[in-house]
Amino acid sequence: MENLQALKQRFGIIGNDTQLNRALEKAVRVAPTDISVLVTGESGVGKENIPKIIHSLSHRKHAKYIAVNCGAIPEGTIDSELFGHEKGAFTGATQDRKGYFEVADGGTIFLDEVGELPLTTQVRLLRVLENGEFIKVGSSKVLKTDVRIVAATNVNMQSAIEKEKFREDLYYRLSTVEIHLPALRERNDDIHLLFRKFTSDFAQKYRMPSIRLDETAVSILLNYRFPGNIRQLKNLAEQISVIEEERTISAIKLQQYLPNNNGNLPAVIGGKKENDFSTERDIMYKILFDMRNDINDLKKLTLDLMKNGNVEQVQEENHQLIEKIYRDQDTQKTNVEVMNIPQNTTAEKDYDFIETIEEDESLSLQDKEIEMIKKSLDKNSNKRKLAAKELGISERTLYRKIKQYDL
């Protein structure tokens, strides 16, 4: 069995975390077999290294290794990509095409973001796992393949199964052995080590002195959650290496490069729960809903009190609710207009006035989603991959949203 330290050097893996070492040991142990493996962990933790290790240490190492990003392939073409198609199977199919499972016969296929596969494709994949058989799109001929499958996902598979977005039988076929890679925030002792390695690499790449962090900056670095994990840490090291002239970085300077998402926002570690908010978009929706409820409470209170004729009490209660709404505005920059009610207005007129406000101030989540997508696309020069990453969704989901809203 290959020495663990030598394995890390061979594949450029940095760190001595116990969970990381355990994951690598499991990869080495299963490599000589043909067992299917499911690699789990958050986005950016380096899941792509595990299938490379498994393939290179297996008897298939001289055959093909193909990595497929299932989330980046449109739903309408993924079957053709994986299993191939016959000439004339669909518009544009001008010739026969071999799919990845046919090309990689005898080798290994890495299915990244396997949780994004459509249900129809999941059925086809299950058949390959069970007996090595598949059928090209537009064909009736059964073909055979001998392929080792390693899959990876950052999706909570149990939750996806409960929501009927992923087949339970396929999950158990894929996860004969499950290898979990820890998030960067769970590898506290490795964070600074990785940062120094990245800054050293970029110093050589850009031919400049390597940067270093002072003690307070190191403390800031270690306490940051890094939602983007190793990928985010590497980008951070590259930014600072290129932009900063001073080679010693202070805590104040470092904080300028860290997105301010460590405040009072909920942190989700491990599996997601139904009421957890794991993305900034979910949190924004929650705030909008809360503010809408506050406004509705204001309207109902106003109506009830005006019917009783106590105008002074109306104004006092309104004032308290308005203060609460503006406190919510400080959390999320959302403009909410609350109009004063004239004292000489009758209860009936006030009721009409409140109904009008309710219509005007109705919050449309769809409009907010469209606005967020447009802003992200503009910011990233219409590059869907970058926009999807910023929005926290897969590129395939973004592609579907663009089609849905005709953007």
**Tens digit of pLDDT for each residue in 232-290?**
999 999 999 999 999 999 999 999 999 875 444 444 444 444 444 445 556 666 677 67
Please tell me the predicted confidence (pLDDT) of residue 367: 76
Rounded to whole angstroms, the Cα distance separating 294 from 309 reads 22
- Residue 143 in contact with residue 133, Cβ under 8 Å? yes
**How high is the mean pLDDT of the chain?**
83
**Topology adopted by domain 4-182:** Rossmann fold (3.40.50)
Among 303, 311, 300, 307, which Cα is nearest to 344's?
311
Give pLDDT tens digits for 70-93: 999 998 899 999 999 999 888 888
Look at residue 23 and tell me whether its pLDDT is greater than 50: yes
Name the pTM for this structure.
0.64
Q: What is the pLDDT of residue 258?
A: 93
Instruction: For residue 68, give the H/E element and its range.
Output: strand 65-69
pLDDT computed for residue 170 by the predictor: 97
Predicted pLDDT of residue 194: 96
pLDDT beyond 50 at 114: yes
Looking at domain 186-255, which of 3.40.50.720, 1.10.8.60, 1.10.238.10, 1.10.3720.10 is its CATH number?
1.10.8.60
73's CB contacts (< 8 A; 6+ apart) are 81, 396
User: Any idea where the domains of the chain sit in the sequence?
Assistant: 4-182, 186-255, 280-363, 366-405
Q: Do domains 4-182 and 186-255 have the same CATH topology?
A: no
Dist. CA 265–CA 278, nearest whole Å: 9
Considering the domain delimited by 366-405, tell me its CATH architecture. Orthogonal Bundle (1.10)
Q: Report the alpha-carbon angle 172-177-179, nearest 5.
A: 115
How many C-beta atoms lie closer than 10 Å to residue 227's C-beta?
22
Residues belonging to the chain = 407
**Is the Cβ–Cβ distance between 58 and 31 less than 8 Å?**
yes
Question: What pLDDT digit, counting tens, does each position of 159-190 carry?
Answer: 999 999 999 999 999 999 999 999 999 999 99
CB 208 within 8 A of CB 241: yes
